[in-house]
A and B are shown apart, each in its own frame.
Chain A
Amino acid sequence: MSQDGYRKPVPTPSPESKRYWEGCRNHELWLPFCRDCEAFYFYPRDFCPSCFSWDIEWRKGSGRGRIYTYAIQHRAWHPGWQDEVPYVTALVQLDEGPRLYTNIVGVDPDPAQIDCDMPVEVTFEDITEEISLPKFRLVS
């Protein structure tokens, strides 16, 4: 159930992503890890997209990374963001390697304040009883 007034899309976990979303619910960023490559990957599936090994496990990530790139969205293409433009979308490259698509929060949507390669850390937004969204803020 969405919280009152939450009008943005709410993710529907799939069997292979259930562990990820459970981690988020506990405000922890858990990531799939390939035992053969000894590397993290994203998004979740039951095998490694680099080597097609099905010998995988879940590991808790550090929640830290850098802004690989970003954009400042000035147009609300969906009613859920109507009152929030401009806002920042970004790809965060986690210290563990994979990139997450996310929002940078707690900063003015101003290119003078944000840059690629800036260090960031995860922060969770509880949007429903079951779902918390990992977003990122600048590390001061």
Chain B
Amino acid sequence: MTPSDGKIAALYKKVAIVGADESDEIGIVPDKSTLQLHAEAARNALEDAGIALSEVDGIFSAGSAGWSPTLQLAEYLGIQPRYTDSTSVGGSSFVIDVEHAAAAIHAGLINVALITHGESGASGGRRGGSARPALDVQHPSAQFEMPYHVGGAPTHYAMACMRHMHQYGTTHEQLAEIAVATRKWASLNPKAMMRDPLTIDDVLSSRWIAYPFHLLDCCLVTDAGGAVVIVSAARAKDCKKPPVWVLGSGEATTHQTIMNMPDLTTTPAAVSGPRAFAMAGVRHKDIDVVEVYDSFTYTALVTLEALGFCGPGEGGAFVSGQRTAPGGDFPLNTNGGGLSYTHPGMYGMFLLIEATRQLRGECGERQVPNAKLACVNGTGGTLSSTGTLILGAD
């Protein structure tokens, strides 16, 4: 083991998630600001943990209301934290924040980390202004991509999916399997936005957004907030609920613009995944429940490959036969995912909340029996950045 590996392994089971919750309402919430969504989620997650806001000394936020997310948030909440982290690498940020918080707590810099998110993906545009700072006109993307297309994530993820289909023969039907299975999980989650049953034919007959993606290959666009609270092993003993341990973590980035993505048929989870598994000392077959970012059906499929649950190009066959649905042998995205539960723009926070609830056994109808180990993977940007976590219950 090299010295750097030793330092990374030092984060094994040093911190736990002790609080997790959404904002009071998620879905279409036009009358609440993004900062209020942050604040409601923060209050709910702290109550879940049994920890007062005054104890929070580290704050983590990727933002969703312009510049300087943690400055905005700390002031809004009325706290003056000694440690802030505004890591903003897309929807993976919140999962990556867990590793950053673990490092800060383990180093003794902070005691209680609060990671929050609030985003008005559905309603923000109607209020005017911009949730994200505009690009400099000389930015590479502004010069070399936007003259050819301006659009949301579907554009670029569709191009990655197309290469995967070409290279491996992945089919529209296989992608649709994920949308259908995920909807079945959503039908068991009262908080999910889309709960009506869905068939493969429904997916295949929905309109094109960006070929090869149909509408129902694409995630929702909603308003939502979420938060988690992370503390040291010692502090975790005095919280309201049993700790959800961070057993392994990994972070990876490969590019920003899709023209510079080294291999369009994988994701940086191929780097962050093995690190997280190695730190946790667990194998794929040990994992009870998997929560991965599903901005598109393809994102979930390629992430399972990149994490090593199946080989490159085998994702289509792997998810066939409703294997990832309730009752299948590979429980995936058990809250209904970004595809059917909620997706305000950056979704990674909600992976953490669902994994925490599953490992606590709080999920009611959708509970995976005896879930003790969860794998979480957030993806951000244009398949640009990932954070992988292995979480465990006692």
- Enumerate chain A interface residues (CB-CB to B < 8 A): 8-14, 17, 42-43, 68-75, 77-78, 80-81, 86, 89-91, 98-103, 111, 115-117, 127, 133, 135
B159-173 interface with A by 8 A CB criterion: 159-160, 162-163, 166-167
Beyond A77-B150, A91-B259, A116-B166, whether A17 also contacts B143 by CB under 8 A is: yes
Q: Which of B146, B149, B166 has the most CB of A within 10 A?
A: B149
| Bound-state Cα–Cα, A13 to B143, Å | 7
Would you call B142 an interface residue if the criterion is a C-beta within 8 Å of the partner chain's C-beta atoms?
A: yes
Chain B positions within 8 Å of A111 at CB level:
211-212
Would you call B129 an interface residue if the criterion is a C-beta within 8 Å of the partner chain's C-beta atoms?
A: no
Name A89's contact: one of B149, B166, B257, B264 (CB within 8 Å).
B149
Are B151 and A9 closer than 8 Å at their CB atoms?
no
Chain A positions within 8 Å of B158 at CB level:
71
Are A68 and B264 closer than 8 Å at their CB atoms?
yes
Name A9's contact: one of B150, B207, B257 (CB within 8 Å).
B150
Beyond A74-B210, A91-B259, A100-B259, whether A116 also contacts B138 by CB under 8 A is: no
As a 0/1 sequence over residues 161 to 200 of chain B, the CB contacts with chain A under 8 angstroms (1 = contact) are 0110011000000000000000000000000000000000
- Enumerate chain B interface residues (CB-CB to A < 8 A): 137-138, 140, 142-152, 154-155, 158-160, 162-163, 166-167, 207-213, 257-260, 264
Q: With CB as the reference atom, state the residue of chain B lying closest to A69.
A: B163
Beyond A91-B258, A91-B259, A116-B163, whether A72 also contacts B210 by CB under 8 A is: yes
Chain A positions within 8 Å of B151 at CB level:
73, 75, 77-78
Q: Which 3 A-B pairs have the closest CB atoms?
A: A77-B151, A71-B158, A72-B211
Chain A positions within 8 Å of B166 at CB level:
69, 115-117
With contacts defined as CB atoms under 8 Å apart, how many contacts are there between chain A and chain B in the complex?
Answer: 113
18 more CB-based (< 8 A) A-B contacts, given A71-B159, A133-B147, A133-B148 = A11-B144, A11-B147, A13-B138, A42-B259, A43-B143, A43-B259, A69-B162, A71-B210, A74-B210, A78-B151, A89-B149, A91-B259, A101-B148, A101-B259, A102-B148, A103-B148, A111-B212, A116-B167
Q: With CB as the reference atom, state the residue of chain A lying closest to B144.
A: A43
Chain B positions within 8 Å of A86 at CB level:
208, 211
Are B162 and A70 closer than 8 Å at their CB atoms?
yes
Chain A positions within 8 Å of B160 at CB level:
69
Name B211's contact: one of A10, A71, A91, A103 (CB within 8 Å).
A71
| Bound-state Cα–Cα, A57 to B176, Å | 48
| Bound-state Cα–Cα, A68 to B146, Å | 19
Chain A positions within 8 Å of B258 at CB level:
91, 101
| Bound-state Cα–Cα, A12 to B136, Å | 10
14 A-B pairs, CB-CB below 8 angstroms? A8-B150, A69-B163, A71-B210, A72-B210, A72-B211, A74-B207, A74-B209, A78-B150, A90-B159, A91-B264, A101-B144, A101-B145, A101-B258, A135-B148
Name B210's contact: one of A13, A75, A81 (CB within 8 Å).
A75
Chain A positions within 8 Å of B152 at CB level:
77
Name B149's contact: one of A11, A68, A73 (CB within 8 Å).
A73
Q: With CB as the reference atom, state the residue of chain A lying closest to B166.
A: A116
Q: With CB as the reference atom, state the residue of chain A lying closest to B161.
A: A71
Beyond A42-B259, A69-B166, whether A12 also contacts B142 by CB under 8 A is: yes
| Bound-state Cα–Cα, A101 to B154, Å | 15
Chain A positions within 8 Å of B212 at CB level:
71, 111
